[in-house]
Structure 1
Amino acid sequence: MKRFNKIYILQFIFIILSAFIMGLVIDYSQTGSLSFAFTNATSTFPGMYLVTVLVLFFIYIGLFGIINRFFYSTALFYVVFLIFSIANRLKVIYRTEPILPSDLMFLSNIKELLTMISLKLVIEVAIVLIIGIGICIFLEHRFGKYLLRMKWQTRIVFLLLAVLSLGSFYSANDEGSLTNKFLTKAGRSDFTANLIWETNSNGPLITFLTNVRVNVMDEPKGYSQSKIDSIVKKYKKEAESINKNRPNSNINKQTLIYVLSESFSDPSRVPNVKVNTDSMPNIRNIKANTTSGLMLSSGYGGGTANMEYMTFTGLAYNQFSKSLQSPYVQLVQKQTNPENITNQFDTKSAIHPYIGNFYSRASVYKKFGFQTFRNINTTGDLALQYTDTADGGQYVSDESSYKNVLWQVDHVKDGQFISLVTMQNHMPYTNKYKNSNFKVSGSGAGKNTKQVENFSKGISLTDTSTKEFLSKLDSIKKPITVVWYGDHLPGIYDGNSMEKYNVAQHETDYFIYSNKYAINHGYGTKKISKNTKITDPNGFIALAYKQMGQKVTPFYAMLTKIQEDEPAMAKSTVGNSESLYVNKKTGKSISYQDLTKKQKKLMKDYKLIQYDLTAGKGYSTKAGFTK
């Protein structure tokens, strides 16, 4: 190694200062306020800020150890963490969530991901990064020969320090571990009920690192084989009682279609938002004449696959561990024969007019038992039949998506299960439609008035094509039932406080529709009114089976009781509770303490079964609970 001189000292001073500066930048990406980030760093949570700085320092010297060129290491350090900060800021704005390890799956689809972000922002960021990288390259060529060059022994030490600092977070959530004790002494806040609060306190980088290792679900008190056996016995009796009034025993005689309508939600129902004309008159009429209501979403601006997971499995997202942010990516891929509604059908197919591996759908659908999955990447016999856009829109239109479903219906003689996840109304909403007369006013839209207007136009296109889709289903001479729902609101209502409008901004629209043949031949119900005003995605299986007059398994008998007797539930993003519970009659949020003794007992059964099916021993499956 060269003689240690003043230049080397200045290099390390620069590394230390960079760690402090980047720590503030990362914290700013979470709070959106430099003064708030500075206050957190200097007085409110100084310990956690220093931990962030320490990790950044070790990462920086680790990069230096690998590359052994100071300015190249500097360029890589700043590029990585500036991109991390920008991504975190965008996710907080649009989804009220920080960046998590499960989000790394999107890197395999970076090209498609960039299309969902403002082109202006992408260009601005690219220019800044290119200029910064260019400066570092110039400085390395001009002054690199005067800077520190390390021998391999020192480089290995620097790399090991970086690896050890990052690897130590594997045990961060283990009570009593060295890392856990260290973070606790540093002032780590463990707001298990609220991820955003925790990140505001601990910082996005520490939150990211402490969520690398996933705990699917905490074991409920009293979990044992004998306890599960008693629950199975209880709901076998409940199933027998329910099935006395259900005429249909063979689900494969019916066709059940799930339609997840991307971001569909009534813009006129959002507080402090006024739209000059109704964007969904047809769906409003459909809802008035069939089983319908509002769905309590566990997402805002995103989280599509999580809602999809709940509708397939009947399991509640809010009952999982906080670290489980994507059941598709973090749970299903590790399971063998995961319980889901497709297990009840002989023929099952999925359609999504976008790339197939977002949220790892291609592999997850195989795990779920789907025999075909048509998306824009599939070719040959699995190719989408229709891929047109609508009125200058960016994505495949809902009209085309519905045509693909109708094609699938026509190509199977008997009953089947079909899942459609649409794409037409996905962000960004800066893409103007050619013909739009929608005007939006009110403080709720904030700076995004034009985006809400574009979104409203997209909703109106969905409204028209949905009416036509149901009309065509009514002409088909076999029983068909559709579970249709919006997965979440778009993250464009930045004029509203989520704390104040938490329930309203997590409510989307849903309906369950049986075609004429189903109703006329005893396979469908016109309208169920009881306990339908507001529900959750995990309640759709129970509602669909009730709509279809279909006999239930013991598991579905339990889901029926949950849907009928429990409040609607969702993952909470604000407040001091991990779960958001909403009274199905009043539409108002309630706390767990407000539940009756009977409701708490039912909720306990639910949690025990959910744990058993996902993280436990699977006692209920062996006992025939799901068949």
Structure 2
Amino acid sequence: MKVNQNPVPEIDEIRKNNTSGLMLSSGYGGGTANIEYGVETSWDLQLFDPSMTTPFTQVVMKSNYNSSVVDLFKRKNAIHPFLGTFYQRREVYKRFGFQTFRTTDGKDKNEKLKYQKKIQKSDLVGDNDAYKNVLWQLNKERRGQFINLATMQNHLPFTDKYNEYPFEAFGQAVANPERKEQVKHYMQGIALTSKYTKDFLDQLDQYQRPITVVWYGDHLPGIYDGDNMNDYYVPLHETDYFIYSNKYARSNKYARNHGDSIGKQTDHVQVVSPNSFTALALKQMNQKVSPFYAMMTQVTEQLPAQSRGNNDTSDGLLVDKQNKVLKEKNLTKKQKELLNDYRLVQYDNTTGKHYLKNMHFMK
């Protein structure tokens, strides 16, 4: 597929100047909460049995212990400019330890979404207002906090939502007129996201406190066509991500008080799994880490990105930093040992007896 102009120039510029690359997603056309689960817990969906389709409901809701990045913070708040009932998010987030979860159907003071203006002709809250909710939460809580935002602007259906459509697409993937129209509408949506994201980061640069953002697309929309789509399984499961530290976090003033920040990372970041983001962010912030996140740093730097493969078996998909597909049998002995260690840790925490929790391995 070719397009007549780049719909996301601002995001491309942000990615060029910050830690960034491609995220190997487990979803295509859906599965947002599954990618969320991988990001928040650092667990790999590929290591679960294929019958595990929705870990929010099949793991989190059935366990009294769910370790995640949320555990690293005293204050943690979640924002979702949509209904809180999808994927049982309201109950799941409570189990993760979020103190507030603000949605469009929120009832009390900890659940009411401050800004929820719909974008142009769409029935979904725009990313500009989604970001305004994050800024509101930052201003409400002056101390350190973790904020989780899951946006909705670019969710399906991809119909006539906007005031203008300057983008055109050509090629086999959009040979069907209906597909072509959907892609055109989708491109306008991400073009707006690109502008709103730059504005959001510019505003974060005004804060005189360190702020680090992990930003990623959860999955691509299922709006492409063609007889040989299976040949493009990997690119159909790759989305953009970046990790951005605001101006204060990069300043000499902050470095004098807290130690030098790593800043932009260039090694081991070209293709990553969702479970790598916390380790990458902690490294960028130059934070002291637990044994678990030390292991996750090794997983991120030494193992290929992992996801579920297109045969829906336990084989999985391994993609290296050069974006080449590998087989597990081709890993080095050291890589196989690390992968086995990671599997054991995930098993203990999700299915086993939580030995590592009692050993203070996780945090």
- Give the TM-score normalised by the residue count of structure 2: 0.95
Counterpart AA for 2:153: Q
How do residues 458-497 of structure 1 correspond to structure 2 at under 5 angstroms?
458-495=189-226, 497=228
Q: Does 1:587 align with 2:323?
A: yes
Counterpart AA for 1:623: M
Given the alignment, which residue of 341, 346, 351 partners 1:615? Answer: 351
Cα distance between partner residues in 1 of 2:137 and 2:288 = 25
2:4 equivalent in structure 1: 276
CA contact 1:445–1:496 (8 Å) conserved in 2: no
How do residues 592-611 of structure 1 correspond to structure 2 at under 5 angstroms?
592-611=328-347
CA gap 1:371/1:496 in 2 versus in 1, 3 angstroms: farther
Cα distance between partner residues in 1 of 2:244 and 2:362 = 25
Displacement, 1:575?
7.7
Displacement, 1:302?
0.5
1:501 equivalent in structure 2: 232
Counterpart AA for 1:559: M
Counterpart AA for 1:490: P
Cα distance between partner residues in 1 of 2:154 and 2:140 = 28
Counterpart AA for 1:325: T
Q: Does 1:563 align with 2:300?
A: yes
Q: Secondary structure at the match of 1:351?
A: strand
Given the alignment, which residue of 72, 75, 86 partners 1:358? Answer: 86
CA contact 2:24–2:238 (8 Å) conserved in 1: yes
Given the alignment, which residue of 276, 282, 286 partners 1:545? Answer: 282
Cα distance between partner residues in 2 of 1:476 and 1:432 = 33
1:267 equivalent in structure 2: none
Residues 25-67 of structure 1: per-residue CA shift (max 9 Å, x gap): xxxxxxxxxxxxxxxxxxxxxxxxxxxxxxxxxxxxxxxxxxx
Cα distance between partner residues in 2 of 1:341 and 1:326 = 19
1:455 equivalent in structure 2: 186
Q: Secondary structure at the match of 1:363?
A: helix
2:241 equivalent in structure 1: 510
Residues 403-445 of structure 1: per-residue CA shift (max 9 Å, x gap): 0000001111111000000000001102342211111111112
Displacement, 1:498?
3.5
Equivalent pairs: percent with the same residue? 48
CA gap 1:419/1:321 in 2 versus in 1, 3 angstroms: same
CA contact 1:503–1:588 (8 Å) conserved in 2: no
1:144 equivalent in structure 2: none
Given the alignment, which residue of 431, 442, 453 partners 2:171? Answer: 442
Q: Secondary structure at the match of 2:250?
A: helix
Given the alignment, which residue of 379, 395, 403 partners 2:124? Answer: 395
How do residues 45-194 of structure 1 correspond to structure 2 at under 5 angstroms?
none
Cα distance between partner residues in 1 of 2:124 and 2:315 = 34
Q: Secondary structure at the match of 2:193?
A: helix
Cα distance between partner residues in 2 of 1:310 and 1:498 = 25
Displacement, 1:335?
1.1
2:51 equivalent in structure 1: 323
Given the alignment, which residue of 76, 79, 95 partners 1:367? Answer: 95
Residues 495-528 of structure 1: per-residue CA shift (max 9 Å, x gap): 2633201111100000000001111113644310
Given the alignment, which residue of 248, 270, 273 partners 1:533? Answer: 270
Runs (4+) of structure 1 exceeding 6 A deviation are none
Cα distance between partner residues in 2 of 1:582 and 1:421 = 26
Displacement, 1:539?
0.3
Cα distance between partner residues in 2 of 1:328 and 1:285 = 34
Q: Does 1:383 align with 2:86?
A: no
Q: Secondary structure at the match of 1:516?
A: coil
Displacement, 1:275?
1.1
Q: Does 1:412 align with 2:141?
A: yes
Q: Secondary structure at the match of 1:612?
A: helix
Counterpart AA for 2:18: T
Given the alignment, which residue of 331, 335, 353 partners 2:63? Answer: 335
| Larger mean Cα displacement after TM superposition, 547-556 or 383-392 | 383-392
Give 1 or 2: higher helix fraction.
1
CA contact 1:528–1:547 (8 Å) conserved in 2: yes
1:18 equivalent in structure 2: none
Q: Secondary structure at the match of 2:231?
A: coil
RMSD of the alignment, in Å?
Answer: 1.3
Counterpart AA for 1:334: K
Q: Does 1:291 align with 2:19?
A: yes
Displacement, 1:393?
2.0
Cα distance between partner residues in 2 of 1:471 and 1:618 = 42
CA contact 1:387–1:400 (8 Å) conserved in 2: yes
Residues 348-380 of structure 1: per-residue CA shift (max 9 Å, x gap): 000000000100100000000000000001134
Q: Secondary structure at the match of 1:519?
A: coil
1:431 equivalent in structure 2: 160
CA gap 1:577/1:443 in 2 versus in 1, 3 angstroms: farther
Instruction: Compare relative contact order (CA 8 Å, sep 6+) and give the higher one, 1 or 2.
Output: 2
Cα distance between partner residues in 2 of 1:356 and 1:576 = 32
CA gap 1:600/1:559 in 2 versus in 1, 3 angstroms: same
For structure 1, which runs of at least 5 residues remain unmatched after alignment? Answer: 1-272
Residues 215-252 of structure 1: per-residue CA shift (max 9 Å, x gap): xxxxxxxxxxxxxxxxxxxxxxxxxxxxxxxxxxxxxx
Given the alignment, which residue of 329, 347, 359 partners 2:75? Answer: 347
Counterpart AA for 1:440: A
CA contact 1:355–1:377 (8 Å) conserved in 2: yes
For structure 2, which runs of at least 5 residues remain unmatched after alignment? Answer: none
How many residues were matched structurally? 354
Cα distance between partner residues in 2 of 1:575 and 1:314 = 21
CA contact 2:50–2:314 (8 Å) conserved in 1: no
- Give the TM-score normalised by the residue count of structure 1: 0.56
CA gap 1:463/1:395 in 2 versus in 1, 3 angstroms: same
Counterpart AA for 2:244: Y
Q: Secondary structure at the match of 1:500?
A: helix
